[in-house]
Chain A
Amino acid sequence: MNTLHDEKFASAENIQQGFKDAKYICSKKIATTLYLSYHLEKPILVEGPAGVGKTDLAKTAATFLGVPLIRMQCYEGLDESKALYEWKYGKQLLYTQMLKDKLNDIVDGAGNLSESVQKLHKYNDIFFSRSFLAPRPLLNALQQKEGAVLLVDEVDKSDNEFEAFLMEILSEFQVSIPEIGTIRAETKPFVFLTSNNTRELSEALKRRCLHLFIPLPDPELEKEIIRIRVPDISEKLRIQLVSFIQQLRELDIKKVPSISETIDWARVLLLLHADKLSSDLVRETLHIILKFEEDIRVAEENLYNMTVRARREASH
């Protein structure tokens, strides 16, 4: 990739510490994968439930490296012209119209058609040069001199065709534009692909990537994350909160709360100046962590027991 950041990527521990400084707690597994990705120059395919910090991982990596983050959101129907580059057709047409008179000057004096064409050939393909090229995220990422973090978000939402197209870029870090030639990355970008598993990705794409599955965090990790992200929250409330969330995840609900919800909840509780969990408080704020009416109903049934248990755990 680039030798610029070798120091930062000297070991998995370094990465872990660096990310922690950037307020992202990553497990040993994540750090090791990042380490490998940097040294093997391979993209990382990040999978996991929604809200466990897949996108945040890329953002933090950009902060950590001090390079821009270029994000490309995938959706059905995304194609080359939106992802890679597009000619500025309007500009091209406008210029041809404006330069019409100029054109007369140039071909002036030419005896016949072939001579005029000869004359025109001296001017190369001006209308298909870089100044008429509108770079889109992928090309943009390749053109960054200092390198970049390229985040291809929710790649599973895109079509199969786009996925196939992505492979040239991911394995060679170059794109070919017929009119200009091949553009190679000056500094290879650090690539993250995220997927929510709405569909199975192709074998070929997977083969080109390192695979990283981020699960929902265990209590220790989650407490640590809350401590870093919401530092003002009291120790006691933090433990209660995490314990409650962990219990909630064991219930049979549609959408289990993930880290982002835990963080939101912690912030809300902080705003409400709460210092401990109580059944009423939880009931009032439950809609922040649960997104379905049925889920809230299920949770309310067990609410009292869970709150008591969370409080008991904190008092240990």
Chain B
Amino acid sequence: MEQVLNDFISALRSSGGRVSTSESIDAMNAAKLVGYHDREGLKTSLSAVLAKSLYEEEVFGECFDRFFSIGAFSEDQGDPYGGLTPVTIEENSFLTQMILSNDMAALAASMRDAAREVRITEIQFFTQKGLYIHKILRHMGLEELKRDIRQLRQKDTSSSRQMADTLENLKGRLFEKVRDFVEQQLALFSGSVTEELLDNYLRNIKLSNLEKQDFHRLHKIIKKMVKRLNDLHSRRRKTFKRGQLDFMKTLRSNITYQGLLFDIKWKKKKVDRPDIVAICDVSRSVEAVARFLLLFLYSLNKGLAKIRTFIFCSNLIEVTHIFDECSVEEALVRLQTGTGVGIMLGSTDYGQAFRDLAETWSNLITHKTTVLILGDARNNYGDPQTGLLKTFQERSKRLVWLNPERRSFWHTGDSEMKRYLPYCHLAKECSTLNHLERVVDSLL
């Protein structure tokens, strides 16, 4: 039975449930405790051990039902001989006997054994279906069955010919059963590989080439990324009104009182979380990537406590509240079309954007703030206001510019990147998710 449970766990993994080794050990123990006689009991027990959220519970339920319902041979076939008295031939193979005696349980068991022997759990692509069907059939003894049929035909009596036809017919049915089985197994076990492939693909593809349908998957990846980024932070000790006794400090400060411990100092750990001001260009020149940059900002906004987000085109507006209030789809649509947010989608004006920021929100930028600018720096030959960028840089802890264009395009046409570059602590190309992750990683 342990083998069955193992197979089930790998099936669960491939349908998206994340199961660790320790959890699978727990599952074994749980199954031992509860036993296999009580289906519902087993299901709830395994679910408690393996599924760790409501969503996973659903995935688990589905997978459990699918996995433990493969009764390929369960339905009654009726009398396969059609009233025919079987012709006994002495060298009937095992498979022939099973088919003729209509022993569905034995057939199912034999098929499972064969499947295990050929390692069906490793099936990954639908193109491997035929291969596995044949491997399984061969293991079950197809060759012998064929030989029996040949021999029957050679005998050439009317009953043996009829018998051969019946066997031929049954062989066809067997083939179908095995095919069904392999298809089910494919559905059970192939999921994970394709999911991984897709994830990797999405991480490396250019943001501007991403399709809308991958949006949700991308959102998930980004969310994971932001969470990981947020978990990385610095800790420092700080004096507090209460907490742990800071022995060193107490001794030091009480020297003045002749060593009498009079003034007691406490310490506490303080967590420095990132403090970010993010500014994103949503103009037409970055239209293709803007959606994903906004998506990234949205996730940042949800994941980090101290973040203020702004978008700009001809002018600059704050959108933190929109991210806070709306669902991701709604927020992105609102921001990109500019409905009801007060943004002018004319020609891009970096100078104006910086002026707006400096006038209204300049107090946001302190020595602890990281300023994050997402944009291609294509300013339509307007005034780039590099002076303002310089003041931002001086006042902030760090100024990071992420440009969706390749570095070789940075100084061409109306791109002002060359002039902005001296005032950035870090300026990087950012056109894939992997870029994004690497940059933000270095940022925290």
CB-defined contacts of B269 to chain A, threshold 8 Å: 79
Instruction: Assess whether B52 is in contact with A28, with CB atoms less than 8 Å apart.
Output: no
Instruction: Give Cα distance in the complex from A28 to B34, angstroms.
Output: 13
Question: Separation in Å of the B263 CB from the closest CB of chain A?
Answer: 11
Known: A42-B26, A207-B20, A213-B54. A33 touches B44 (CB 8 A): yes
Instruction: Give Cα distance in the complex from A89 to B245, angstroms.
Output: 7
- 1/0 per residue, CB under 8 A from B, across A172-199: the answer is 0000000000000000000000000000
Instruction: Give Cα distance in the complex from A32 to B264, angstroms.
Output: 53
Interface residues in B240-289 (C-beta closer than 8 Å to A): 243-245, 260-261, 264, 268-269, 271
Q: Choose from A33, A89, A161 the contact partner of B271 (Cβ within 8 Å).
A: A161
Instruction: Assess whether B52 is in contact with A89, with CB atoms less than 8 Å apart.
Output: no
Instruction: Assess whether A28 is in contact with B40, with CB atoms less than 8 Å apart.
Output: yes
CB-defined contacts of A7 to chain B, threshold 8 Å: none
Known: A36-B48, A81-B244, A93-B261. A207 touches B34 (CB 8 A): no
* B49 part of interface (Cβ distance < 8 Å): yes
Instruction: Assess whether A40 is in contact with B29, with CB atoms less than 8 Å apart.
Output: yes
CB-defined contacts of B48 to chain A, threshold 8 Å: 29, 32-33, 36, 44, 210-212
- 1/0 per residue, CB under 8 A from A, across B12-39: the answer is 0000001010110010011001100000
* B57 part of interface (Cβ distance < 8 Å): yes
Known: A40-B30, A87-B245, A161-B271. A213 touches B57 (CB 8 A): yes
Instruction: Assess whether B33 is in contact with A97, with CB atoms less than 8 Å apart.
Output: no
Question: Separation in Å of the B195 CB from the closest CB of chain A?
Answer: 17
Q: Which residue of A lies closest to B242 (CB)?
A: A81
Q: Choose from A29, A79, A200, A209 the contact partner of B44 (Cβ within 8 Å).
A: A29
Instruction: Assess whether B245 is in contact with A36, with CB atoms less than 8 Å apart.
Output: no
Q: Which residue of A lies closest to B231 (CB)?
A: A160
Known: A81-B244, A207-B20. A36 touches B264 (CB 8 A): no
Instruction: Assess whether B54 is in contact with A36, with CB atoms less than 8 Å apart.
Output: no
Instruction: Give Cα distance in the complex from A161 to B271, angstroms.
Output: 10
Instruction: Give Cα distance in the complex from A87 to B231, angstroms.
Output: 29
CB-defined contacts of B88 to chain A, threshold 8 Å: none
CB-defined contacts of A33 to chain B, threshold 8 Å: 44-45, 48
Instruction: Assess whether A32 is in contact with B52, with CB atoms less than 8 Å apart.
Output: no
Instruction: Assess whether B23 is in contact with A207, with CB atoms less than 8 Å apart.
Output: yes
Instruction: Give Cα distance in the complex from A305 to B244, angstroms.
Output: 61
Q: Which residue of B lies closest to A45 (CB)?
A: B52
Q: Choose from B44, B261, B268 the contact partner of A97 (Cβ within 8 Å).
A: B261
The interface on chain B, measured as residues whose beta carbon lies within 8 A of the other chain's beta carbons, has a size of 33
CB-defined contacts of B63 to chain A, threshold 8 Å: none
Instruction: Assess whether B53 is in contact with A206, with CB atoms less than 8 Å apart.
Output: yes
CB-defined contacts of B382 to chain A, threshold 8 Å: none
Question: Separation in Å of the A286 CB from the closest CB of chain B?
Answer: 29
Residue in B48, B56, B245, B268 whose Cβ sees the most chain A Cβ within 10 Å? B48
Instruction: Give Cα distance in the complex from A206 to B271, angstroms.
Output: 24
* B295 part of interface (Cβ distance < 8 Å): no
Instruction: Assess whether A210 is in contact with B49, with CB atoms less than 8 Å apart.
Output: yes
Q: Choose from B20, B51, B264, B271 the contact partner of A211 (Cβ within 8 Å).
A: B51
Instruction: Give Cα distance in the complex from A97 to B264, angstroms.
Output: 14
* B422 part of interface (Cβ distance < 8 Å): no
Question: Separation in Å of the A81 CB from the closest CB of chain B?
Answer: 6
Known: A32-B48, A36-B33, A39-B33. A211 touches B245 (CB 8 A): no
* B41 part of interface (Cβ distance < 8 Å): yes
- 1/0 per residue, CB under 8 A from A, across B200-240: the answer is 00000000000000000000000000010001000000000
Instruction: Give Cα distance in the complex from A28 to B47, angstroms.
Output: 13
Instruction: Assess whether B261 is in contact with A36, with CB atoms less than 8 Å apart.
Output: no
Known: A42-B26, A97-B261. A203 touches B18 (CB 8 A): yes
Question: Separation in Å of the A83 CB from the closest CB of chain B?
Answer: 13
Instruction: Give Cα distance in the complex from A82 to B71, angstroms.
Output: 56
Residue in A29, A79, A203 whose Cβ sees the most chain B Cβ within 10 Å? A29
Interface residues in A75-91 (C-beta closer than 8 Å to B): 79, 81, 87, 89
CB-defined contacts of A266 to chain B, threshold 8 Å: none
CB-defined contacts of B52 to chain A, threshold 8 Å: 45, 203, 206-207, 209, 211
* A300 part of interface (Cβ distance < 8 Å): no
Instruction: Assess whether A96 is in contact with B34, with CB atoms less than 8 Å apart.
Output: no
Instruction: Give Cα distance in the complex from A206 to B57, angstroms.
Output: 13
Instruction: Assess whether B261 is in contact with A81, with CB atoms less than 8 Å apart.
Output: no
Interface residues in A24-45 (C-beta closer than 8 Å to B): 28-29, 32-33, 35-36, 39-40, 42, 44-45
Instruction: Assess whether A81 is in contact with B243, with CB atoms less than 8 Å apart.
Output: yes
Known: A93-B261, A213-B57. A36 touches B244 (CB 8 A): no
Q: Which residue of A lies closest to B29 (CB)?
A: A40
Question: Separation in Å of the B50 CB from the closest CB of chain A?
Answer: 8
Q: Choose from B45, B53, B244 the contact partner of A32 (Cβ within 8 Å).
A: B45
User: Taking beta carbons and an 8 Å cutoff, which residues of B are in contact with A?
Assistant: 18, 20, 22-23, 26, 29-30, 33-34, 40-41, 44-45, 47-49, 51-54, 56-57, 227, 231, 243-245, 260-261, 264, 268-269, 271
Q: A40-B33, A207-B22 are in contact. List 9 more A-B contacts (CB 8 A).
A: A29-B48, A32-B44, A33-B48, A35-B33, A39-B33, A93-B264, A208-B22, A211-B53, A212-B48
A-B contact pairs, 25 of them (CB 8 A): A28-B41, A29-B44, A32-B41, A32-B45, A33-B45, A33-B48, A36-B30, A36-B34, A39-B33, A40-B26, A40-B33, A40-B49, A81-B244, A87-B245, A93-B264, A96-B261, A97-B260, A97-B261, A203-B52, A206-B53, A207-B23, A211-B57, A212-B48, A213-B54, A213-B57
Q: Which 10 A-B pairs have the closest CB atoms?
A: A206-B52, A210-B48, A33-B48, A211-B52, A32-B44, A29-B44, A89-B245, A207-B20, A39-B33, A36-B30
